[in-house]
Structure 1
Amino acid sequence: MVQQNENNSRTRNRSNTESDASSPRDRLAEELRKQKFAYIIGGSLIGIIILIVLIGYYREFYTPPRVVAGEVRGVTFTMGDLVQRIRVLQGLNRYQEDYMLDLSSTPFEFLQKLIHVEILKQAAPGLGISISESEIEEELKKQFYPEIQPGQETGSNQLEQEFQSNYSSFLTATNLTKSEYESILGEVLRERKLTLSFFATIESPQAQTEIALIVLDRYSGTPPEELRGRIETEGFEAIAAELNQSDGYFGWVPEKAFPEFNDFLYPSEGEAPKIGTISDPIIQDSGVFIVKILSYDESKEVEDPVKYKLAMEAVKTWQATQLQTGSEDGWVKINFNSDKYAWVTNQVKLTAPRTNN
């Protein structure tokens, strides 16, 4: 019996010893398990955070520039294209003292401009309009070729070097590539040729109205109605002189040359204003106009500058007609809303020239 008790005692002691020995291992295993669980949870949270950042980046920077904003017969313009074109404008106007980019209207205007440019590019062959590399080169030399002063002797090599230097400096200053700027020149020349084609069709002589004109900036702070009242008492010419607009004389204006006040000069209904009539202030986006009728001529030759203005207005009419027709027939598409407008505006602000107040 005694022997059995001793054996039982040794067994219990051995069991307790083994239990005591296994406790640190169990605690270590438990600690490792907890750490592994914590690492898994932490890694998952970090992964979620990274995913949120990536989704934000995708939505803010990757997706919007690739969203189609407009299309002309399968040729698309993305939001990124629109931002790039506005940045081109920033580059070209960066060093003008009075430069100010109007973000309340610029994005949509430039989308329309991209559409107009592509419509004309596609229509050009049918209109007999083409632009050659030599025409681009000639236009570049008009802009950047150095002027030779009277009595100055300069070799052709030196002039060519100066031309290339002037052109390179311009590209650097405006942050444009050679291909980007020459593409823009192509657009300008194409529209110029369209304008000249309309210029050749302007009827002359034709009926015209001789006018005097006072022009006010919409944001000048001068109340137009108050100014109109002063004209009655002080005279048109006196008020024009006060505004540094000489006596206000403007010249001869045919119908449709100046849409801003065309309806006053050439009303669609009723008789034309009598000689001496002064208009009420005509408020347009481009300014406030007060017009005085001086005389009429039913058959007067149209001067070339006025002809060119008529041709420019004819181009605008052609563009508007093409845009409307294309939209109705489905070969012109515009995909632009307030959210896209806001995104373009924010992107453009990032590269807007800074001004010192």
Structure 2
Amino acid sequence: MIILGIETSCDETAAAIVQMKARLRNRAFSPTFEILSSVISSQVDIHAKTGGIVPEVAAREHIKNILPIIDQALKKASLDYHRIDVIAVTGGPGLITSLLVGAETAKVLAYTWNKPIIKVNHLEGHIYSNWLRAQDSGLKAPQFPLLALVVSGGHTELVLMKKHLDYQVIGQTRDDAAGEAFDKVAKLLGLGYPGGPIISQLAQKGKRDAFKLPRPMINENNFDFSFSGLKTAVLYLIKDRSKTKLPATRPLRIAKRVGRASYQLQANLCASFEQAAIDVLVEKTIKAAKKYKVKSVLLSGGVAANELLRESLKTKVKKELPASHFSLPTLQLCTDNAAMIAAAGYYHATYHGSEDWQKLSVDPNWELT
């Protein structure tokens, strides 16, 4: 089966061609995936100018890029549309105007090419990036029951899966998502957008115990998250100049502009914040994995590219859950991409079949169920 995946939930316009092949493992056939092509047009530089995503601007960029991106994906895969078996498109959650561009394009192609169409939840796409990772590295695919930590700019969820396409959200953020907190703290520090990579880069030069920051809800008897209090604690540190000795104008700038002392202060604050946020993510995930006795622990979403999170969770799983398999996507598959949508689309096609293209709609608040 050859699947065209289309992803436009936020500010990346993406298309990918993924081929599913059946391989004999332990006397049973299991699907393996080959990414024939994956093309992404990012709008990061555009939205960096405004310090965040402007939905109308994002939608216009999607409209401009979507067809050329799909054409590039087909050419890189050395295929024409006749070889496509299924079209899988993100139906939510995300920005409504961005989602509509991808969905309407997919519907037109489904009608014009006479191809079945499937709607995929963006979050399940992130989860299924781990199956692409297994194929890419030769590792074994995740085993059920599994626990997936999905952590991105808009979502932070712990998802229990007992079989394919079966989702039980056992924990989620009550306010800011983890990635959102990174972006907001970066904005408080005057570091620019997107904030996550900048904070992580500076954190490598800082002391992670330089500032005592809270770990919200880390000891509560549930699997929910909260990051607004951590963000507020950073804000108070910035305002309390008697403690932090930050410059009087824009809180923190690049080292050459504020001097070595201020740069180190900046790095220390980033390191302390990053450590606090990741401590919570890792601790909650391990607690949930132990309770539900899962065979696999998965990490996915844009924040899964964070090196400290990747290494911390990997180490913790190996130490405290030695019988469980840990899986995480390659860095390229952490950010929004269409290959993950195609992978999830395969399982929908296999278990649920296709949808009527005329009835396919998007839902910006679509929850995993």
The TM-score range, normalised by the shorter chain, is: under 0.3
Provide TM-score, normalisation by structure 1: 0.24
Rg larger in structure: 1
Q: Which has the higher helix share?
A: 1
Provide TM-score, normalisation by structure 2: 0.23
Larger RCO (CA under 8 A, 6+ residues apart): 2
